[in-house]
Structures are given as C-alpha cells and as structure tokens.
Structure 1
Amino acid sequence: MRLVFITGGSSGIGQAMATVYLQQGWRVALVARRLDALTAWTADMSVQLALGPDRLQVYGADVQDVDSIIAAADQCIAQMGLPDVVIANAGISQGVDTAEREDLAVMRQVMDTNVLGMAATFHPFIRGMQARGSGSLVGIASVAGIRGLPGHAAYCASKAAVISYCESLRGELRASGVCVTTIAPGYVATPLTERNRYPMPFLMSAEAFAKQAVRCIARGTSYQVIPRPMAVVAKLLRILPNAVFDRVLKGQPRKHRHSDN
C-alpha cells in the first residue's frame, strides 16, 4: 500500500490532501506543529473512514526547526517505510513593511518556514528514493511567487524561491527516477487566506484544490497552477510589462502587516 508524507497537516490544504489520499486507499503520514489539533482530526477521520491503525500516523514537528522535521521523517521511515510521495506543504504568510525594523525578523521567519523548511522536509528522503529509483517530491508554491504584491514581500519572495528551488531540484534528480512537482495554488479558502483584505479571484475550497493537486502528482506533472483559470492569469502576469503591472496595482489594498488586528 502506497505511502504519502505531508507537512502542514493540521488544517487547510494539507488536511484536504490527506483526506483525498486516504479515500484513495493510501497510507498517510501527517506532520504539523499543532499535534493536539492533528490528533483530534486523525481520531475523527479514522472513525469516518473506518481506518486501521496502519493507515494514518501523525508526527509533531516544526519545519523551521531542521532537526525537528528530520527527526519526524526518520521516525516515519522507521515506522511506515520510505514514502512514495512527499508533499512539503507547511507554510506561513505574514504581511511585512521593510521600513519597520521588527518586520525583518518576520521576513526571516517566513523564509525559514517556506523555503528552508521545504528543503529540510525533502532532505531525509532523497537518498532512499534515489536508491529505489522512484518517488515524488512535491513543493507547494503559490501564484504569489510569480509577481510581487504590495505588503506581501516576504511571502512572494519565499514562494518565488520555492518555484526556483523545485526547478533546480527537478534537474538534479531527473536521471535518478525521482520526480519533482511544483504546484502553485491560486486563492484557496484556508486559515492562511481568511484574513486577506483584497479581492481573491477564482477562490476555491481546499477540497477542490486537493483533488486537482493529487491528480497532477499522479501524472508526474512538473509544474501546475491550480485552478486552471488562475493558470491563465499566471501566464499573463509573467509577461505583463512592469509599467502595466504597476498601474493595475495602483491604489489596490496591500497585505496587512503581521501586527495588524
């Protein structure tokens, strides 16, 4: 029975993807900082789907702490075996203002979680997957990584880094049989987006996103924006001249700072 390892599993996209995989008969290793929330959800899901104890395991770890996430990965391998799919989904979004000294620390936290945390999540599994000659590493990026948005400097920068990082890793691992997939969500209704103060076109549920994402992973897609209408917008954003892009954003609400109520 195939195994998937997912970080950021206590809510939102991570939990929705875990549900899809469980419904498809996979074993799931779910990781999050909030182990209490994760354990409660797991107990409920085990009852709903009549899961055996070998189908769903939870691990407490913080991807910002390299030793913590590596320990969780090693524990998963020891208890459940080497995963077929690893999904680095854990991430945070904090609005920043570079003019504010305290926001530099916030930016570091976002980069450590969203970028270094992804590399630390993949690291423990790469050698084993290379030796086996198969496996999928999935990085959850964002459309926000394509162009910078006001107030969103930390998040946009981190997701741009994720896109480039996964592209580099894909080239490094291609010959080994290990697949690297980058998935860039548009706006998904999760705790991460619920406080946004600006329009969110093509907003979709976490459940709808998860179904599409799991299909992309199964196909071995290298890069996919979800949903498809946002993929069209993403392509336009890539080629839009700076002068036009700046005019479009002029006067638009910015991402609220992390300290705003």
Structure 2
Amino acid sequence: MAMKVFITGASSGIGEALAYEYAKRYSGKDTIIGMAARRSEHLQALQQTLESSYRVKCAVYALDVRDGEALSSAAQHFIQHYGAPNVVIGSAGVSSGTLTENAVDTNAFQAVMDINVIGLVNTFQPFIHAMHLAADNGQPAQLVGIASVAGIRGLPGAGAYSASKAAAIAYLESLRVEMLHHNIAVTTIAPGYIRTPMTDINTYKMPFLMDVDIAAHKFVNAIEHKRRFVVIPWQMGWVARLMRLIPPALWDRLAKNAPHKPHISVEQSK
C-alpha cells in the first residue's frame, strides 16, 4: 500500500524534518508527500531534493493555515490526484514572547491562536470525509497534531504560545474521541525543546534539547504506533508529569522569574 502523507508547516523546522523522515522511510515505495507552507521557494527546493534523492512524489501548496479556503482547495487537489492520505500532520506553528500588559501584543496573541489552533482545524477538516471513506475500505487513516510541553502549564512571557498549545491539546483530545466513529486515529505530539529556527532565537538554557532530525524519527515512530498522546523527548515527559502536579502557589514561585521568550513578530517566527 502506498504511503500518502500531508504535512503543514513543511518549509522549515519540524514540518520539513518530518517530510525528510517520511521520504527516507518510504523511499521508492510509491510515497506521496503533500507539503504546505507559506514560503513557496522553500517548498519547491524541498520538493526537488526529496524527489531526486528518495524517489518519492511531492505535491506542494503555498498557503497560510489561517486561510481555510486555501487549505480546502489543497485538500481537494491532493485527494483528486492521489486519493485520501493515510496521515495528515498539522505541524505549522509560531511562537513569540507576549505580555498582556502591552497593547501592541494583542495582534500577536490573535495571530498565534489563529495559526496554532484554528490552523489545525483548517488542516484536518477538509480531509476527514475522504479519510473516513478510505478507512471504511481498510486504509489506515490518522490525524496528527503537533502541540508542546508549553501547553501543560502557563509560562510567563509566553501567554499566547502556552494558551495556544493548551488549546491544541484539548482540541486534539476532543477530536480523538470524535474520530473513533470514523475509524480515524488521532495522535497528539507534545515536543519539548527541539532544535529549529523557532528555538534558535532563545537565549536561555533549554533542557534536553533534541536535534530536529532525531525528533522527527521519534515522531514518526509514535505516529506509526498510533500513540494517543506522547511527549518527546521522554525526559520532558517526566517533567510534564511533574508540572501537572505542582500546586498553583508553588508554580507561581517557581515560574515568577523564569526567562522569557524573545519578543519577535509572528511573521519572523514562521
């Protein structure tokens, strides 16, 4: 059976690494990789590399995940030409330091929430019907959302990012239960610190920092095992469990003086 995967945020970071991982893992096996992102030139360069190096077929879609109509058109094109995908991965995401006290950060809050949460809805919705029909005919079907450990507890100076990832985790859990009726699996991946352009700007220590190609390998393993919720790397999984148990008063004292993420525009962080 051919592997057909559709990935948003594919022009850099985790999304790009996932495209490479699927191309390497399924090289020469009638693999179709749909890749969506804002930066057309990066997508085209990636397409050329993957097709020439790994003998896979790539379909690229230059779009913003906030644009539901663009994602719907991309999904229709992919399904018409290649059939329903086996896996759809919502990997597009942004991060920026934000403070509620700063009026200028209100737009950043809106953009982060729109991209990191509504972007997932826009990514999955146009594929579900076709994937449901394919699943009824025995084809594996799976939706995957990239969340973050930052969604476990609110981090100072990262209100937009923490809120968006907390919302993503809750949304994906709701979706997972809903999709049981459609024979579609749903996986939530909550990374810790992964070495990408998004984390390269951080000036503070990042425990258990993992190279993105290693992370992508582990992500795909988790996807193939149909994990419901997984934190990667595993060390951050224990940190996440501890974070959930800390009482609010103690959390306040521990987090009060934590370093803040740099304040950059959302466009810079994409």
Instruction: Give the TM-score normalised by the residue count of structure 1.
Output: 0.95
Q: CA deviation at 1:132?
A: 2.4
Match of 2:49 among 40, 44, 59: 44
* 1:30 corresponds to 2:35: yes
Matched residue, 2:15: 14
Matched residue, 1:218: 224
Tell me how many residue pairs correspond in the alignment. Answer: 258
Amino acid in the other structure paired with 1:39 = Q
| Cα shift readout 1:121-143 (whole Å, capped 9, x = no counterpart) | 00011111222234100000000
* 1:228 corresponds to 2:234: yes
Matched residue, 1:174: 180
Matched residue, 1:108: 110
SS in 2 for 1:151: coil
CA distance in 1, matches of 2:71, 2:200: 27
| Cα shift readout 1:201-256 (whole Å, capped 9, x = no counterpart) | 00001101101110111111100000000100000001111222222223222122
Amino acid in the other structure paired with 1:7 = T
Q: How big is the alpha-carbon RMSD for the aligned residues of Structure 1 and Structure 2?
A: 1.6
CA distance in 2, matches of 1:169, 1:251: 36
Amino acid in the other structure paired with 2:205 = P
Moved more, 247-256 or 77-86: 247-256
Structure 2 unaligned residues grouped into runs of 5+? none
Q: CA deviation at 1:197?
A: 2.3
| Cα shift readout 1:173-200 (whole Å, capped 9, x = no counterpart) | 1132100100000000001111112221
Does structure 1 conserve the Cα–Cα contact (< 8 Å) formed by 2:84 and 2:134? Answer: no
CA distance in 2, matches of 1:199, 1:249: 15
SS in 1 for 2:199: coil
Q: CA deviation at 1:38?
A: 1.2
Does structure 2 conserve the Cα–Cα contact (< 8 Å) formed by 1:21 and 1:27? Answer: no
Q: CA deviation at 1:111?
A: 0.5
Matched residue, 1:121: 123
CA distance in 1, matches of 2:186, 2:257: 38
| Cα shift readout 1:120-177 (whole Å, capped 9, x = no counterpart) | 0000111112222341000000000001111100000000000000000111111321
SS in 2 for 1:139: strand
Q: CA deviation at 1:34?
A: 0.2
CA distance in 2, matches of 1:199, 1:38: 31
Structure 1 unaligned residues grouped into runs of 5+? none
CA distance in 1, matches of 2:103, 2:15: 32
SS in 1 for 2:197: coil
Matched residue, 2:142: 136
CA distance in 2, matches of 1:91, 1:254: 18
Q: Percent identity?
A: 45
Matched residue, 2:75: 73
Does structure 2 conserve the Cα–Cα contact (< 8 Å) formed by 1:97 and 1:257? Answer: no
Matched residue, 2:3: 2
Does structure 2 conserve the Cα–Cα contact (< 8 Å) formed by 1:188 and 1:203? Answer: yes
Matched residue, 1:258: 264
Q: CA deviation at 1:96?
A: 1.0
CA distance in 1, matches of 2:188, 2:261: 24
Amino acid in the other structure paired with 1:121 = T
Q: CA deviation at 1:75?
A: 1.4
CA distance in 1, matches of 2:160, 2:148: 13
CA distance in 2, matches of 1:73, 1:102: 35
